[in-house]
Structure 1
Amino acid sequence: MAYELYYWDGIQGRGEFVRLALEEAQADYVDVARQSGPAMGTGAMLDLMKSKREPHIPFAPPFLKDGELIVSHVANILSYLGPKLGLAPEDEKLRCVANGLQLTITDLVAEVHDTHHPIATSLYYEDQKEAAKARSAAFISERIPKFLGYFEQVLQQNPEGPNHIVGDALSYVDLSLFQVIEGLRYAFPKAMKAYAADYPGLIALHDAVTGRPNITAYLQSDRRLAFNEDGIFRHYPELDLAP
């Protein structure tokens, strides 16, 4: 049976980290909210979340349905899928390391979201622009180098070499770091241009993932949604500052 991925239609968001793994592995999957027909569409996703029959309903998308099993949260989904898709280290200890790295990416993504919604998700961006400017300035000057510096160090200190963040082969964490660089470049192009020389390993990893045949095909397809100002990574020129 095909995997069923549930996430909001029209945005990459957190669901994109799961899509990249499924696309790289050429897994059989259905992006439920983007489909029409019986038991498809956003309505089907919301119905499942509110179900009175499912024993373990998810709090929020993204979540993955594999048969009767529902797996929620990006890092948890990728930890589950990684071994099945050949995108996780075979060594159990390294799989734990990979999960920790993915959880750190989750922390980063949450902070990216808060650059444009620092007060409340229930408010529009326009209702919190001044707070967003202050939050983004701190994020650019303090948090981007904190996170990317950490990942660069881990990459360079990988005993198997700096071609991958963990182990000696491509993992879902490599794919997620590609998405992080893509998203930050979209949201903060001035800042990322200034920082580019500081993280050569991450940039090389990003470029290597871009060149993988399955990823290249996906990026050129209509399955890859464009970044926009409804997702996690948003570009508001007034928030993009050179560090």
Structure 2
Amino acid sequence: MTYELYYWDGIQGRGEFVRLALEDAGATYVDVTREPGRGTGEMMKLMESTVEAHIPFAPPFLRDGDQIISHVANILFYLGPRLGLAPKDEAQRWFANGLQLTITDFIAEVHDTHHPIATSKYYEDQTQEAKARAAEFVTNRIPKFLGYFERVLAQNPDGNGHAIGNAVTYVDLSLFQVIEGLRYAFPKAMRHDEVRFPNLIRLHALVKSRPNIAAYLASPRRLAFNEDGIFRRYPELDIAP
């Protein structure tokens, strides 16, 4: 069965957390809005349907046969066991879901550094507010969230450098993307902070070296970061803590 991923064309965004899991597992999938003859129109038609029983509010969402699953953490909770990227133990699976939901919270705060007032307004319409929000984010929120995940890695009783258990899970892949995105959007802040989070940096390197991930990163399927996505590089927002 071919999975169908629906997300905005041209940006990594939240959809990238799902792509990384699919790519690492070598799963067969299509990125619907990037498919000739399908595109964003097909995604919007499904979202705006007046007959579909399980309509998603916003992308990303995944179609698996007749099943439609929305929200990144929910999608990964669904895919994890199917792709071999989730713990077998039920208690650990719930913990993994909690970690992914915490990443979801963090990504929302990343987004709000450049859109602190309203998503309907351009960045240029809220630049001063963005500067204040980004300063708080860089000074307090990056250390808060990364410090938490650093402790999760350090306190994993199974070791091996993973967030949970002794093998790679979708949480590890998502933490890789978090570090990638922060390095793009806040390079000055990350150069200052990374020394404090050696376990996260080792995990990032471990994920990056996985064969399927390395091949994906080198392929045209991996979209470049840009100023339309979640992680955006605005030099005026990147300050040393």
**TM-score normalised to the size of structure 1?**
0.99
- Output the aligned Cα RMSD: 0.5
8 A Cα contact 1:156 1:162, kept in partner: no
**Aligned AA (2:47):** M
**TM-score normalised to the size of structure 2?**
0.99
8 A Cα contact 2:160 2:167, kept in partner: no
Residue in 2 aligned with 1:129? 127
Trace 1:1-243 onto structure 2 (pairs within 5 A).
Answer: 1-37=1-37, 40-243=38-241
Runs of 4+ in 1 over 3 A off after TM superposition: none
Hey, what's the Cα distance between the residues in 1 that align with 2:117 and 2:50? 33
Hey, what's the Cα distance between the residues in 1 that align with 2:52 and 2:211? 38
8 A Cα contact 2:73 2:101, kept in partner: yes
**Structure 1 runs not aligned, ≥5 long:** none
**Secondary structure of the structure 2 residue equivalent to 1:5:** strand
Hey, what's the Cα distance between the residues in 2 that align with 1:57 and 1:36? 23
8 A Cα contact 1:162 1:201, kept in partner: no
8 A Cα contact 2:17 2:174, kept in partner: yes
Hey, what's the Cα distance between the residues in 2 that align with 1:65 and 1:147? 31
Question: Taking structure 1 as reference, are residues 162 and 194 closer, same or farther at Cα in structure 2, changes over 3 Å only?
Answer: farther
Cα shift readout 1:61-118 (whole Å, capped 9, x = no counterpart): 0000000000000000000000000000000000000000000000000000000000
Hey, what's the Cα distance between the residues in 1 that align with 2:73 and 2:20? 13
Hey, what's the Cα distance between the residues in 2 that align with 1:214 and 1:150? 28
8 A Cα contact 1:9 1:33, kept in partner: yes
Cα shift readout 1:18-72 (whole Å, capped 9, x = no counterpart): 00000000000000001112xx210000000011221010000000000000000
* Percent sequence identity over aligned pairs: 73
**Aligned AA (2:55):** I
Hey, what's the Cα distance between the residues in 2 that align with 1:136 and 1:64? 32
Hey, what's the Cα distance between the residues in 2 that align with 1:51 and 1:131? 36
8 A Cα contact 1:155 1:162, kept in partner: no
Hey, what's the Cα distance between the residues in 2 that align with 1:105 and 1:162? 21
Hey, what's the Cα distance between the residues in 1 that align with 2:194 and 2:95? 26
Question: Taking structure 1 as reference, are residues 41 and 210 closer, same or farther at Cα in structure 2, changes over 3 Å only?
Answer: same
Report the alpha carbon displacement of residue 162 of structure 1 after superposing the two structures with TM: 4.9
**Secondary structure of the structure 2 residue equivalent to 1:120:** coil
**Secondary structure of the structure 2 residue equivalent to 1:242:** coil
Hey, what's the Cα distance between the residues in 1 that align with 2:77 and 2:225? 25
Report the alpha carbon displacement of residue 163 of structure 1 after superposing the two structures with TM: 1.1
**Structure 2 runs not aligned, ≥5 long:** none
